[in-house]
Amino acid sequence: MDILKGKVALITGGASGIGRATAILFAREGAEVAIVDINEKLGQSAKEEIVATGRQAIFIACDVTESEDCRQAVETTVATFGGLDILFNNAGIIRRADVLTTTEAEWDRVMDVNVKSIFLMSKYAIPHMEKRGGGSIINTSSGWGLKGGGNAVSYCASKGAVTNMTRAMAIDHGRQNIRVNSVCPGDTDTPMLHNEAIQLGQPEKEFMAEAASRPLGRYAQPDEIATTVLFLASQDAGYVTGTALVVDGGGLA
């Protein structure tokens, strides 16, 4: 339907999972897409998958915790496509541990990837959005950004920060016609979810069955989160800003 025709989107964590599904969907809906990730092999693969359909995409290798990397990712996107309209801050990691077993280095890494990256990417993207007359920023939070969860203290802290940071950004940048929202997925079938079972030392089959224990009786597929991000990026959500949109099969309910 080309909902995003004429738009330029930058997606962090775009090489796999929710980010990859969103990059492919955005391209299908007419956007020119910059896939930003630290994983070059998967990032190039995602780009090639889009280009093979006749749509426009680039891959940019980037450590989203590094200021200069983030600046260059934004500048490369703008230089390639002529501007920037949509920023999907999706890069994220999880450490399944409590306060006693989380190391200081692990805490810092989770906060850097999940929170600092949003600060950095937004800092460099917003001036370009303002030049285009506005834009949309979507930040990936979590159901655990709205409530607590066990053995995930750094992750819960980081996603709580993302949720409230989103609200603050929506207040600050509404006057520039920049909408800022967060999406709060429940358990989604991504490499990160499967890795949690390993971290917890739990059989994967048992862990995934627990992830499906919610009113809809299943965990999400990345495409189901991507369609929600598409809504927030599009003019269909033109009066939506500062919200935390939960997509979790009823888990929080």
Share of the chain above pLDDT 90, in %: 100
Distance CA 82, CA 192 (A): 33
Q: Which residue segments constitute the domains of the chain, with CATH numbers given?
A: 8-188+222-244 (3.40.50.720)
The pLDDT tens digits for 8-21 are 999 999 999 999 99
Q: Which of 124, 155, 219, 239 is catalytic?
A: 155
CA distances from 85 to 8, 38, 121, 137, 203 (A): 5, 22, 13, 8, 42
- Per the rule left: phi > 0, alpha: psi between -120 and 50, beta: everything else, 201 is left
What's the mean pLDDT in 88-96?
98
Q: Burial, 79: exposed, middle or buried (Cβ in 10 Å; 0-12, 13-18, 19+)?
A: exposed
| pLDDT at position 89 over 80 | yes
Q: Longest C-alpha distance within the chain, in Å?
A: 51
The pLDDT tens digits for 130-148 are 999 999 999 999 999 999 9
So what's the pLDDT on residue 97? 98
- Cα four-point dihedral sign 118, 75, 129, 247: negative
What's the mean pLDDT in 98-111?
98
Q: What is the mean pLDDT of the chain?
A: 98
Are the beta carbons of 39 and 14 closer than 8 angstroms?
no
What's the mean pLDDT in 51-67?
98
So what's the pLDDT on residue 3? 97
Distance CA 23, CA 68 (A): 23
Q: Burial, 111: exposed, middle or buried (Cβ in 10 Å; 0-12, 13-18, 19+)?
A: middle
Share of the chain above pLDDT 70, in %: 100
The pLDDT tens digits for 138-191 are 999 999 999 999 999 999 999 999 999 999 999 999 999 999 999 999 999 999
Retrieve residue 39's tokens.
């994983």
Which DSSP string do the residues of 117-140 spell out, in sequence order? HHHHHHHHHHHHHHHTT-EEEEEE
| pLDDT at position 1 over 90 | no
The pLDDT tens digits for 202-229 are 999 999 999 999 999 999 999 999 999 9
CA distances from 25 to 4, 46, 147, 217, 233 (A): 10, 12, 29, 25, 12
Does the annotation mark 155 as catalytic?
Answer: yes
pTM for the model stands at 0.98
Q: How many CB atoms lie within 10 A of CB 76?
A: 16
So what's the pLDDT on residue 229? 98
| pLDDT at position 75 over 80 | yes
Are the beta carbons of 41 and 16 closer than 8 angstroms?
no
